[in-house]
Structures are given as structure tokens and as C-alpha cells.
Amino acid sequence: MNDEIDKILTDWSLKEYIGVFKDNKIDADTLNLLDRDMVAQLIKPIGDRAKFLKNLSLWQNVSNDDSSLSLNLIDSEKFLTNSTNVSILNEEHKTISWSALNLTNFEEIEKPKEIICSTDTSTKYLSDTDSDQTTALLSPQSKNFKNPYTHEFKPLQDILNQSLDGRNILKFHKEEGVLSSNSRRKLCNLIIYDLLQEDINIRIPHEILFKYAQEIKSIFNKENASTYYVPYINNQKMKIKACAKGKLVDCLHNRKRDYRREQKNVLLDKKTADVQDNHHLELNEDLQQNLQWLKNSTEPWELVEKKWHATATFRTTELKTSDKSVAQYMAEFPVLQKPAGYQLLLLDFNHLYPGKGFLIYENFPILKNKILSYAEKKAERDSTLREIFQEKNTFTTNDDVRAGEVNTLRALMALPLLLGNPLAKGRKSTWRPSKQEASEGFITHICTPADLLTTIKRRRDKFQQHNITLQPFIIIIGRDYMNIDKFYVIINDTFYLLHTILDAVDVCFKSFQVLNCRYPIECVSTWQFIQKGVYQIQTPWDKNFVSINSLLTDIGMEIP
């Protein structure tokens, strides 16, 4: 029973109270007896208490119902012939958790709905009650018609074995016993790409996603099928209605959206080229109006993105051909100083390097393990490298996502130490950065937020001393690698707060390319390694660092 209360509180996003419930000897049986006064004694914060009471109310209603709960994709009374009482509300999907359901035979589900990948971002569902709409959608003459999925189901094991990424996922799982967040993202992409490879507009039946979710659970035994797919639910009795959810559904919509965006950009570029040929003066007027609007406005965001895209070619070209500094550019477009301003830099990068935007999330998880393995061997004779791994023996956690993020940070911090440091030449002096300076130049680690402004001032003063321009850089805050709380990218006087270290590296790298900046002089080889090894980009300004080619060779990667 203790394991059951652990699972319930975890699924309700209240796992921090597991100890309190155990201390008070509350298990799944006594959970049904709690009232508001008892809950107030157990959970003091009002927000957490409200969340618990909401979930408890639904849990009690379901547990006390004499009839077993049946959910149906079309009719809520007919979904499962072997349904069981459901005792868990999954907070992530705002619906019933499938971990509590006995879903062993998909053939018992009657007349499943199909996911229609329509031209908008929403998911359409077909039911017996939507006969008119069904006829319209499925009619070959209809403009909304999508080809039905008629291909033979391909086993997940075959999809994984046929690609390098898939084999790396299997290898990672065999070595670690769990999947990382990046492995899950990669796994979903492999499945969806395989489903859509012949026709991007094909209609994917929901039972296909369901089967893949079950296969994921079978191959990777610590994964939960409901993480990847939770079907459409419409239960009139409990007043529960929710769209299909899960990583596979999200990935499917994202790939469709990316395709539509690429097609739209192609059309926009073609239209722009035609207008330039035939209506040059008119285009210049529109361009000037869009630029003027961006210089004076910062919202609404949807309009900002639209005008930013329309002016991308002009702005990026001007930055490369003019003497305009980063400070002047940031001041010229105040929207870049907003917390979400970095998203505009990402849009410009996608304009400059189409198809390269997500490579860090695809390539670095593969590079990471190779870098760590190589660095640990080197650390035996390098005390500076050894410091990165000194906490490894004491690092124990069941949270594979957190463990993966810590190892990502370790791999990144090891790069400047493995690649060495070039000779930095300023106008007044020649400065050879130490290994510590090379590491801090790439990612600066401080312990508390109180040190943030002092650290930036000290860094700026050092660069002024050597008469070198301070370029965008990364600062992370936390007492050690296992407890990093904040990830910042600093550009001029603008602070961008990111979610993970990989996000911070991604934004910082793309800002160099978009703003036409040089890499920080003390870690130029590190950023060029990321440019070549991760993003697979070459520029006319690349320097020939032997250490980069040597490291790529040593970890078994191709030299671009």
C-alpha cells in the first residue's frame, strides 16, 4: 500500500509530501477517509492543498462508484470491456492516468477515432455523431481529405535498428537502464519520421500511436506508456473530456507544424523575390514600415514575429556589411531586450541556416557520452579535468532527467579543458588564458545570484584591460553542478534566462552567428568545436585548430 500512495502523490505532482503521509500512516485505504481539516494539517501551503483536494475529490468519486469506470474514445460507456476502477488523476494530462487501467488488448477497443493531422495546429476527431463532418473530411473531393494510413505496422525494434540514432538509444538504455529526456525526444522523432516519410499529410490512426506507446513500454521497461500516448477521453458521467496527449502526439503536431512553416517560408521567399523583381519601390516602402514598427513596438508578440521574419534578410545582411555594434543593434530594436527577445535571434538563425536549428538536441546527446568517456581517461593525469568529476562518486539519484542534465553540463565544461586555449592578442598586450580562464570564458559558474553583477563587471574590466570586446557569454548559478538553479546568456546588458544548460549554449551560439560576433577569445576553439561537431556549419572565418580535429577523431566523430 505504501508504494500505491507513493504513486498517487507522484502522479498528483505532490511527491514532496510522501514522507508526511507515511509518518501519519496514511495509505491508499485511509486516503478515502480524509476530510478538509485533516488535509490542512498534512499540507500547509494553500496552493498544494488546493491541488490535493481537487485530485482527492475525483479520486473519491471514482473509488466510491459501485460500477467500474469505462472510458470510450467515442462513447464513454463502451471504451473498455475489461475496465477497472481508476484511482489516479494524472496532473500532466488533466485526465485519468493510464497506469491504473488494464490495457492489454487493443482489439477490445471499439471503433477507434483517428487523429486527423489538419492544416491547423489542433487535432480533429471523428465520431459517429459527426456524420456530416465525417463525410466532408473523408470525401476524396474535399480539400480537407488526407490519405488514410494503410501501410503495414513496422515494429519499433526495426525502426531503432535501421538508424544510428536508434542504435544509440538502445545502447544508452542498455548501459544506463533508463532513457534520458533527449533519448525520449529522439525516440519520438524516429517513430514520427518513419510514419510520415512517404506522405507528410497522411492521416495517422490513433491505434498506431497506442501500439508504439505499448512497444516503448515493452522495450524500455522503466518507461510509462501514458507518457507517450493518452487517447481522447469523453466520460459524461464524470464530466471528463480531453484530447489525445503524450509525447508522440506532441511530436506528430510539431513535425506537421515545422513542415507547414517551411512551406510557408518557401512561398514567402518566392513571393519576396517576385516583388523585388517587379515592385522594388513598393517593397522598400513595406520594409521601411516594418523596420520602423519594430524600432518602436514590442508587442503583440505574434505581430513582432511576423515583422521580424519579413525583415530578416535586410537586418542580417546589414549586420554583416555595416560597422554597427551589438550594443547599437540591441538598442535599435528594444524588443530584443525583452525576456523572450532571444526567440527572435533563434528565428534569424533559422533564416541563415535552415534545418540546423535543432541539431544540438539531436547531436549533443551522442557526443556527450563520448566526450565524458574520453575526458575521464584524461582526468587521471589532469587535475583541472579531475575537478569536474570529483562529485561523480557521491552523485546518486533516481531522476534520470536530472542525471542527464548534470552529465551534459560536465561534458560541456570538459570541452575547453580538452581543446586547449589559444594565444589572445589584444592591442596593448598578449594574453594567454589559463585553463581556468578558458573554462570560465565558455561557461561561468557562480554560487549565488548576489555574485552575478560583480562577476559580469569583473569580466568586463578584464576585457577592457586587454582592449578586447566582451562577447555574449553564459553564466550558471548554483552551489555545484548537481544543483544549478539558473542558466543565463548575457548579451551586452541584456540577461536571457533559459531552462537548461543545453538551451543556454544553443542561444549563445546562435547569437554569435546572427549578431555577427566573434567567439570569446579565451574559448574560441570550444565554440568552433560546437559549430563544426554539433551544428555542422563551416564559415570563411574558421581557424584551423588541430585540437578540434584531434578531439573529433579521438571520440570517433567525422571531421567536417
Fold classified for 1-64: DNA polymerase; domain 1 (1.10.150)
What mean pLDDT is reported for the chain? 75
- Confirm if 517 and 336 have CB atoms less than 8 A apart: no
Given this model, what pLDDT does residue 238 score?
60
Cell of 228: 507517450
Q: pLDDT grade, residue 196 (50/70/90)? A: confident
The DSSP code for 90 is: E
Predicted pLDDT of residue 62 = 46
User: Can you give the pLDDT at residue 276?
Assistant: 47
Q: List Cβ neighbours of 99 (8 Å cut-off, separation of 6 or more).
A: 7, 11, 88, 224, 226
Please report, to the nearest 10 degrees, the dihedral formed by the alpha carbons of residues 349, 351, 354, 358 taken in order.
Answer: 40
Question: Quick check: helix, strand or coil at residue 355?
Answer: coil
Residue 463 — very low, low, confident or very high, per pLDDT cuts 50/70/90?
confident
**Range in 237-251, 291-305, 431-445, 449-463 the model is least confident about:** 237-251
Length reported for the chain: 560
130-139, 327-336, 369-378, 398-407: which has the minimum mean pLDDT?
A: 130-139
Q: Can you give the pLDDT at residue 237? A: 64
pLDDT for res 398: 55
Domain range list for the chain:
1-64, 359-554
- Give the whole-angstrom CA distance, residue 183 versus residue 178: 9
**What is the grid cell recorded at 305?**
514575429
CB 368 within 8 A of CB 180: no
What pLDDT, on a 0 to 100 scale, did the predictor assign at position 308? 94
Neighbours of 351 (CB within 10 A): 17
Calculate mean pLDDT across residues 273-295. 67
Lowest mean pLDDT among 29-33, 97-101, 306-310, 345-349: 97-101
Per-residue model confidence (pLDDT) at position 423: 55
Q: Has residue 172 got a pLDDT over 50? A: yes
Which candidate, 331, 328, 90, places its Cα nearest to that of 224?
90
Answer for the pair 487, 498: CB distance below 8 angstroms, yes or no: yes
Query: Of the ranges 96-100, 152-156, 323-327, 333-337, which is most confident?
Result: 333-337
| pLDDT at 391 (0 to 100) | 55
Kindly state the average pLDDT of the residues 364-381. 85
Confidence (pLDDT) at 147: 55
Pair type for strands 484-491 and 473-478 = antiparallel
Q: So what's the pLDDT on residue 71?
A: 32
The beta-strand segments (E) located in 102-245 are: 114-117, 123-124, 204-205, 233-235, 240-242
Asked if residue 525 has pLDDT above 90, the reply is no
Cβ atoms of 310 and 344 within 8 Å: the answer is: no
> Using one digit for the tens of pLDDT, what is the confidence trace for 307-362?
999 999 899 888 888 888 888 999 999 999 999 999 999 999 999 999 888 899 88
Average of per-residue pLDDT across 270-291: 61
Nearest CA to 125 among 138, 116, 117, 112?
116
pLDDT at residue number 241: 67
**pLDDT of 280 over the 70 cut:** no
Distance CA 449, CA 270 (A): 48
CA angle 414, 420, 425 (to 5 degrees): 130
Categorize the per-residue pLDDT at 188 as very low, low, confident or very high, splitting at 50, 70 and 90. very high
